[in-house]
Amino acid sequence: MTAHHPSEQLLHRYSRGDDDIPADQLWGVESHLESCAPCRGRLAPDPTAQAVWTNLEPLLDRTPQMSRARARWRVHGWVSPAAGPWLAMILLVTAAAVALDRVGFVVGERVSLVVLIAPALPVLGVAASWGRSLDPAHEVTAATPRAGLPLVLRRTVAVLAVVVPGLAAAGVLTGVGFVRWLLPCLAFTVGTLALGTLIGVTRAAVVLIAAWALVIVAPTIAFSRMAVALDPAAAPVWAGLLVAGLAVLAARRMAFARLEVNR
């Protein structure tokens, strides 16, 4: 994320695909373009180059391969390659919770399973994206320049992009209001990352899921009544936890560039 925008000339040479641009400048332009929409807009196709490319494209058989590769990087810029199967599992679990709810299975006094699984799902996805136990390539990844909070946040957004619509659909189908699941879900997501900077993401995920199961799920089942934390009135507390988590994350952001955070 370079602060200043690349010169017109440099952008022009970049868009033309000049291969004599020094590597550090090329890096600068590429990473700048990733984060700067105005400059992507400036990257108007050069008419001559465009004409040449239109004629050449069908002839170059490596072109489709290159664009497929680019598409793949674009996906994995957001979704960790390790997270795919877990995201599918998260959707299955959500669907199972809805199905159980529909056949009348509620825990305790009208506590839907959807509410009980909501905080655990993103924790699993985050652990799969940045944890030692679920991401086999975590160590090579940790040594690269992209390792760090921005990439972790993108992967977390990708996890939420699967979890939240899934739970939203589940909420509509089961009549569970979003206040009851959205804030705990977000607080646990940020909590995993924040605690992860202190004890490692894998351990943080285990600790938080265990705490949720012991403190909320088990009493709900054992005493057949809704835990206070699941009451919509608890929303301010969840919001407070969310903000506290974000503060820890901001203060400890450098931890994400190191291997310790994968533990």
Q: How many residues bind Zn ion (CB under 5 A)?
A: 3
Closest CA to 162 of 74, 100, 71, 94: 94
> Contact positions toward other proteins, by CB under 8 A?
17, 19, 23, 26-27, 30-31, 62, 65-66, 69-70, 72-73, 76-77, 81-82, 135-148, 254, 257-260
- Residue 61's binding partner, choosing from Zn ion, other proteins, none, with beta-carbon cut-off 5 to 8 A by kind? none
- Which of the choices Zn ion, other proteins, none does residue 36 contact, using the CB cut-off of 5 to 8 A by kind? Zn ion
Report which residue type is found at 190.
Answer: V
Q: How far is the CB of 148 from other proteins (least distance, A)?
A: 8
Alpha carbon distance 205, 228 (integer Å) = 23
Phi/psi for 231 (5° steps) reads -75, 140
Does the footprint of Zn ion cover residue 5 (CB under 5 A)? yes
Q: How far is the CB of 4 from other proteins (least distance, A)?
A: 17
Work out whether 39 is an interface residue with Zn ion (CB under 5 A). yes
Contact in structure between 141 and 131 (CB atoms under 8 Å): no
The residues near 171 (Cβ < 8 Å, ≥ 6 apart) are 114, 177, 178, 180, 181
Query: Using CB under 5 A, which of 21, 36, 179, 246 touches Zn ion?
Result: 36
Least distance in angstroms from the C-beta of 39 to Zn ion? 3
CB of 176 to other proteins, least distance (A): 35
Tokens (6 digits) for 78: 């957001």
Q: Which residue lies nearer to Zn ion by CB, 43 or 106?
A: 43
Q: Which of 81, 90, 84 is nearest to 165 (CA)?
A: 90
In whole angstroms, how far apart are CA 36 and each of 29, 55, 84? 10, 30, 28
Residue 66 Cβ, how far from other proteins at the closest point, in Å? Answer: 6
- Give the nearer residue to Zn ion in terms of CB position, either 36 or 93: 36
List residues bridging with 111 in a β-sheet. 107
What, of Zn ion, other proteins, none, does residue 11 touch, CB below 5 to 8 Å by kind?
A: none
**Residue 50 partner contact from Zn ion, other proteins, none using kind-dependent CB cut-offs of 5 to 8 Å:** none
DSSP letter for 7, please. Answer: P
| Shortest CB 35 distance to Zn ion, Å | 8
107: DSSP letter = B
Residues that bind Zn ion (CB under 5 A): 5, 36, 39
